[in-house]
Amino acid sequence: MLYRHALKKPLSGHRHLGKLLSNGIIKYGESTPQMLKMKNVSRRIKTFDVITRRCFSTTCRKWQSTEVPFAKMSEDQQEILTSERPVDKVDLCIVGGGPAGLAAAIKFKQLDIENGSGELRVVVLEKAPDMGSHIVSGVILEPKALRELFPESEYYDENGNGIPLPPDLVTKVESEDLKYLVGNVALPVPEPPQMINKNKNYISSLSQVVRYLAEQAEELGIEVFPGISVSEVIYSEDGESVIGVATKDMGISKTGEPKDTFERGMEFHARQTMFAEGCHGSLCKELIKKFKLRENRDNQTYGLGIKEVWEVKPENFNKGFVAHTMGYPLTNDVYGGGFMYHFGEGLVTVGLVVGLDYKNPYVSPYQEFQKMKHHPYYEKVLAGGTCISYAARALNEGGLQSVPKLNFPGGCLIGASAGFMNVPKIKGTHTAMKSGMLAAEKTFEEVSKLPTLEELEESGIEKLVEQPINLESYEAAFKESWIYKELNEVRNIRPSFGATPLGGYGGMIYSGIESFVFKGRVPWTLHHHESDATLTKPASQYKPIDYLKPDGKISFDILTSVSRTGTHHDDDEKCHLRVPEQDLEKHAAKAYPKWKGIESRFCPAGVYEYVEDESSPLGVKFQINSQNCIHCKTCDIKVPTQDINWEVPEGGDGPKYSLT
Ligand SMILES: Cc1cc2nc3c(=O)[nH]c(=O)nc-3n(C[C@H](O)[C@H](O)[C@H](O)COP(=O)(O)OP(=O)(O)OC[C@H]3O[C@@H](n4cnc5c(N)ncnc54)[C@H](O)[C@@H]3O)c2cc1C
Ligand code: SF4
């Protein structure tokens, strides 16, 4: 079937490692990305076997932490855990192989090949087991950035128009609807000209596009390593600049002790490190705080996007048709909207984005999505079809005013790690890619002036740069770019939904005027004053919401959905969802009385549970089923107590998306 093509071709960026080994560029200890990868491959085979056989966990983690504090471990264990890491030196290190990271890598290498020695080393580190398998998007692609990245392509038509992607990856938008759903009806809404997709944009699976981009990157000589989680930023001795990153140790048990399979992570030192972790990256969170990148900027705000891919009956399929809906099932005080894209051969993506600034802790974005599919506008398309994939991921909604400072000594933020989502369009891929390309251009300008890595080695110089590269020029280029212009035009639309007591209605009226008349040419900017977590109100102000039971045809229970993500984390692995001291009881005592189990409702993968427990003073016991996590980052963003920290798990863990 179209869209299922060639998903399994393994990337082989590590072929470069052989060369590096023989050149002695890598100071090897015991582990290398190659070894880690090989281990991942065998783990993946094992994983698949486990996934096909197991039921998803709902009761696995103990009430109290079973972790052994480092100080109580044996001397041997302490030594193993703190042993020196092998170091590899590169020109450019990119954390995250999504559209932004790959666009940056490709642009940098293109410049090196065209204008430089062609020998600069670029490494892309990606936590997903295969490139693209942690990517969740709609996706309707605006081809602008892709066309700039590949000005010549065999896929353009005779007039040079089109998108530089293989035709079996994309479906041109041919018709579209914007509707307001109320009761059982779907009312037409006029579409602002800048939001129109018809005859301009393309429907695809971003997961597959990323896989294709990774192949293009490899062909240019970029070293692409899937299955590698980056868990640490490495700072200079004075702590003032970033000199690289470290990959996550593998083989730590759930008690926190090294297993027989333990492998120490590896350090990549780079002249410039780009962080392209996508929305709410775990390292970016640390960097934004450390370098005060959010000073004089607004909070970032978020939405949670939940989607499924269906194979629908031929009579319900309308190739190239896209629909966006507002209203039902969301109430007027919850921001969000639905989408439905018909693409490929008989495939339909259906999804719902829910703004995470919702106040009522009883709201469940997952259940709202299940409910939405039962509206006749959606159900008539899905009826008789088969759901083949499920996915969820947070996305940025703050817009221009929430974009942090982009550069700091030694590194920069690119793509959704910084923001750049055009919320009214629900598009961020083109802006994410463009930001990566701008950062790549500015990095190349700096790095190409420096002696090569080989020259440094020959002269016995350890430091990769005399002075850390602080890419002010990237921030300046962003302000001059079409990303800035585009985001500036829509900057007031999303905040207008929370700005008046009229809620969604007020936002719709204001947005209509902005989109058709003002187009951003107003002297004011609406701000995001509070975070999504602090906007959440106590449960005592609301009544529990009684969601419908799933029918197993159109709507599904959460564990059935999770089984469609292929997610996996080893049962005997340290929990990557961290609460202080891993004391679940303490978290529950702080969170449950006021928010009555909000975690179990905002998580789209059933990771958090409060189960009845008469022995507990709360009457419930908090559990974290971390094996089910699909890396959407919602818990870290929305938990009102702000004490859940999403840490990157071992490389190769997490979902195995291929169509999302
Ligand atoms: C439901 C939904 C619908 C959307 N619809 C559209 C649409 O129709 N059109 C559009 O243009 N955009 C859409 N977007 C937005 C678009 O998907 C994003 O803007 C885009 O994916 C951002 O690209 P990125 O490379 O910055 O981040 P991502 O695509 O998130 O990629 C980041 C990568 O980094 C990896 N990573 C993260 N942390 C680490 C780490 N520590 N170590 C190693 N690897 C790491 C991740 O696994 C991931 O592969 C949508 C988003 C969602 C969630
Ligand atoms: S545990 Fe957190 S990151 Fe994982 S799926 Fe649930 S909300 Fe998302």
Q: Is 437 helix (H, G, I), strand (E, B) or coil?
A: helix
CB 375 less than 6 A from any atom of ligand 1? no
Return the CATH superfamily for domain 15-40+84-135+210-295+402-487. FAD/NAD(P)-binding domain (3.50.50.60)
CA atoms of 504 and 288, how far apart (whole Å):
31
pLDDT confidence of residue 64: 56
CA atoms of 441 and 108, how far apart (whole Å):
6
CA atoms of 335 and 319, how far apart (whole Å):
29
Mean pLDDT check: name the lowest of 52-56, 171-175, 493-497, 566-570.
Answer: 52-56
What number does the ligand 1 atom closest to the CA of 351 have?
1
What are the tokens at 184? 């059982």
Alpha helices in 128-184 (DSSP H): 144-149
Confidence band (pLDDT; 50, 70, 90) for 519? Answer: confident
pLDDT confidence of residue 20: 36
Q: Can 393 be counted among the known catalytic residues?
A: yes
What are the backbone angles phi and psi of residue 589, rounded to the nearest 5°? -65, -30
Is the pLDDT at 579 greater than 70, yes or no? yes
Distances (CA, A) of 561 to 53, 139, 342, 382, 388: 16, 20, 21, 16, 9
End-to-end, the C-alpha distance of the chain in Å comes to 16
Q: Which ligand is closest in space to the CA of residue 576? A: 2
Is the pLDDT at 19 greater than 60, yes or no? no
3-state secondary structure 249-318: CEEECCCCCEEEEEECCCEEEEEEEEECCCCCCHHHHHHHHHCCCCCCCCCCCEEEEEEEEEECCHHHCC
Domain chopping of the chain, boundaries: 15-40+84-135+210-295+402-487, 492-518
**Mean pLDDT, rounded, for 647-654:** 97
pLDDT tens digits, residue range 452-492? 999 999 999 989 999 999 999 999 999 999 999 999 999 99
pLDDT confidence of residue 40: 41
Is the pLDDT at 51 greater than 80, yes or no? no
Residue 87 burial by CB count (10 A; 0-12/13-18/19+): exposed, middle or buried? middle
CB 230 less than 6 A from any atom of ligand 1? yes
pLDDT confidence of residue 59: 43
Tell me the CA–centroid distance for residue 395 and ligand 2, in Å: 13
Mean pLDDT check: name the lowest of 1-5, 77-81, 311-315, 543-547.
Answer: 1-5
Q: Whose CA is nearest to atom 17 of ligand 1?
A: 137
Alpha helices in 54-129 (DSSP H): 75-81, 99-115
Is the pLDDT at 3 greater than 90, yes or no? no
Q: Among 559, 630, 636, 647, which is best to mutate for testing ligand 2, by the most ligand atoms less than 8 A from CB?
A: 630
What are the tokens at 519? 């187009």
CB neighbour list of residue 53: distance below 8 Å, 6 or more residues apart: none
Q: Among 134, 567, 629, which is best to mutate for testing ligand 2, by the most ligand atoms less than 8 A from CB?
A: 629
> Nearest 5°: CA angle at 392, between 567 and 188?
150
Percentage of residues in the chain having pLDDT higher than 70: 90
Tell me the CA–centroid distance for residue 409 and ligand 1, in Å: 25
Q: Can 93 be counted among the known catalytic residues?
A: no
pLDDT confidence of residue 515: 81
Is the pLDDT at 215 greater than 50, yes or no? yes
Tell me the CA–centroid distance for residue 177 and ligand 2, in Å: 32
CB within 6 Å of ligand 2 — which residues?
A: 577, 603-605, 607, 629-635, 646
CA atoms of 554 and 227, how far apart (whole Å):
34
CA atoms of 266 and 32, how far apart (whole Å):
7
What number does the ligand 1 atom closest to the CA of 132 have?
49
Do the Cβ atoms of 452 and 119 come closer than 8 Å? yes
Q: What does the DSSP assignment read for 231-265?
A: EEEEEPTTSSSEEEEEEPPEEE-TTS-EEEEEE--
What number does the ligand 1 atom closest to the CA of 231 have?
41
Q: Whose CA is nearest to atom 1 of ligand 2?
A: 629
Tell me the CA–centroid distance for residue 136 and ligand 1, in Å: 6
Q: Among 429, 431, 487, which is best to mutate for testing ligand 1, by the most ligand atoms less than 8 A from CB?
A: 429
Closest to 310 (Cα-Cα) out of 366, 367, 349, 352: 349
Q: Is 159 helix (H, G, I), strand (E, B) or coil?
A: coil
Q: Can 629 be counted among the known catalytic residues?
A: yes
Tell me the CA–centroid distance for residue 643 and ligand 2, in Å: 14
Q: What is the rounded average pLDDT for all residues in the chain?
A: 90
Please, which residues bridge with residue 88 across strands? 268
CA atoms of 98 and 210, how far apart (whole Å):
6
Is the pLDDT at 267 greater than 50, yes or no? yes
Closest to 508 (Cα-Cα) out of 516, 499, 496: 496
Is the pLDDT at 100 greater than 50, yes or no? yes
- Active-site residue among 393, 491, 494, 601? 393
Q: Which ligand is closest in space to the CA of residue 268? A: 1
Tell me the CA–centroid distance for residue 416 and ligand 1, in Å: 6
Confidence band (pLDDT; 50, 70, 90) for 50? Answer: very low
pLDDT confidence of residue 193: 82
Closest to 378 (Cα-Cα) out of 349, 401, 409: 349
CA atoms of 527 and 496, how far apart (whole Å):
9
Q: Whose CA is nearest to atom 8 of ligand 2?
A: 632
pLDDT tens digits, residue range 581-604? 999 999 999 999 999 999 999 999
CA atoms of 400 and 383, how far apart (whole Å):
40
CA atoms of 206 and 429, how far apart (whole Å):
9
pLDDT tens digits, residue range 52-87? 333 455 444 445 568 999 999 999 999 999 999 999
Tell me the CA–centroid distance for residue 646 and ligand 2, in Å: 8
Confidence band (pLDDT; 50, 70, 90) for 207? Answer: very high
Looking up tokens 């969820």 gives: 392
pLDDT confidence of residue 63: 52
pLDDT tens digits, residue range 140-176? 999 999 999 999 999 999 999 999 999 999 999 999 9
Tell me the CA–centroid distance for residue 330 and ligand 1, in Å: 24
CB neighbour list of residue 161: distance below 8 Å, 6 or more residues apart: none
Do the Cβ atoms of 32 and 86 come closer than 8 Å? yes
Tell me the CA–centroid distance for residue 559 and ligand 2, in Å: 13
Q: Which ligand is closest in space to the CA of residue 390? A: 1
Q: Can 635 be counted among the known catalytic residues?
A: yes
What are the backbone angles phi and psi of residue 153, rounded to the nearest 5°? -155, 140
**Mean pLDDT, rounded, for 190-217:** 95
What number does the ligand 2 atom closest to the CA of 636 have?
2
Kindly report the number of other CB atoms within 10 A of residue 511's CB atom: 18
What are the tokens at 421? 């989502």
Closest to 271 (Cα-Cα) out of 88, 386, 411: 411
**Mean pLDDT, rounded, for 277-283:** 98
> Nearest 5°: CA angle at 487, between 483 and 492?
175
Q: Which ligand is closest in space to the CA of residue 647? A: 1
Which residues of 560-657 form beta strands (DSSP E)? 577-578, 608-612, 620-624, 645-646
Do the Cβ atoms of 183 and 210 come closer than 8 Å? no
- Active-site residue among 32, 57, 65, 137? 137
pLDDT confidence of residue 92: 98
**Mean pLDDT, rounded, for 287-294:** 98
Do the Cβ atoms of 637 and 280 come closer than 8 Å? yes
Q: Can 60 be counted among the known catalytic residues?
A: no
pTM (2 d.p.): 0.92
pLDDT tens digits, residue range 398-419? 999 999 999 999 999 999 999 9
pLDDT confidence of residue 22: 33
Q: Can 271 be counted among the known catalytic residues?
A: no
Closest to 409 (Cα-Cα) out of 436, 446, 438: 446
Q: Among 206, 245, 629, which is best to mutate for testing ligand 1, by the most ligand atoms less than 8 A from CB?
A: 206
pLDDT confidence of residue 12: 37
pLDDT confidence of residue 191: 87
Q: Which ligand is closest in space to the CA of residue 603? A: 2
Task: Write the DSSP symbol of residue 3.
Answer: T
